[in-house]
Amino acid sequence: MEGTQVMKKQIGRLMAGATMAAVVAGVASYSQQRTEAATASANVAVSASVAANCQVVAGTLSFGAYDPLVTNDTADLDATGTFDVRCTKGVTANVGLGNGANHDGSTRRMRIAATANYLNYSLYSNAGRTTVWDNGSNRVSYTATSKAATTLTIYGRVPGAQDAAVGSFVDTVAAVAEF
């Protein structure tokens, strides 16, 4: 019986050792599965679009004093003005100037408010004042190299020898960017 008891103890120890070995093997297997997990990947497409756009910022052109009796009896009155255009980089715009609020056909005119007194003038795209700047075939082409504003210069002329009344003459001309 003593031999049976010893044998039972040895079998118990063997079984306990086998159980422990199975537990250790299971932990090792689980650990191995965690470090050797499969992976999957895919690309994520990222996109944006930039629309063509332009802004025209109002400007001014002031001729100052026109003297129909002496200085401008025969001489023209010239002045320059500016306005800004901003477009999305790479956009080409054709910038035109309307005929103004007081025009008579294609003749631009300033007017004393609430009267029938007019003073004719012209707007040009070049310093020599040879190309009339309009909103038809004589527009200025502009290509944006950045989103920064570009200043465009208007070359104005009030022809001499006009029979002008005393007063302040004004007009409003629309600047238009077509893109």
Token output for 81: 């003005």
Do the domain assignments include residue 96?
yes
Do the domain assignments include residue 117?
yes
Do the domain assignments include residue 6?
no
Please give the C-alpha separations between residue 33 and each of 23, 30, 85, 161, in angstroms, as whole numbers.
15, 5, 65, 99
Number of structural domains (the chain) is 1
pLDDT tens digit sequence for 58-83 = 999 999 999 999 999 999 999 999 99
Do the domain assignments include residue 95?
yes
Residue 75: CATH number of its domain:
2.60.40.1090
Task: Tell me the average pLDDT across 159-170.
Answer: 98
Residue 27's pLDDT band, with cuts at 50, 70 and 90, is very low
Do the domain assignments include residue 89?
yes
Do the domain assignments include residue 72?
yes
119 touches 169 (CB < 8 A): yes
pTM of the prediction? 0.76
Cα–Cα distance measured from residue 69 to residue 72, given in angstroms and rounded to the nearest whole number: 7
For residue 14, what pLDDT is reported?
Answer: 47
HEC string of 146-163 equals: CCCCEEEEEEEEECCCCC
Residue 154's domain spans which residues? 54-178
pLDDT tens digit sequence for 91-128 = 999 999 999 999 999 999 999 999 999 999 999 999 99
Chain centroid to Cα 151, Å, comes to 15
Do the domain assignments include residue 165?
yes
Do the domain assignments include residue 34?
no
Dihedral pair phi/psi, residue 14, rounded to 5°: -65, -40
pLDDT tens digit sequence for 43-57 = 999 999 999 999 999
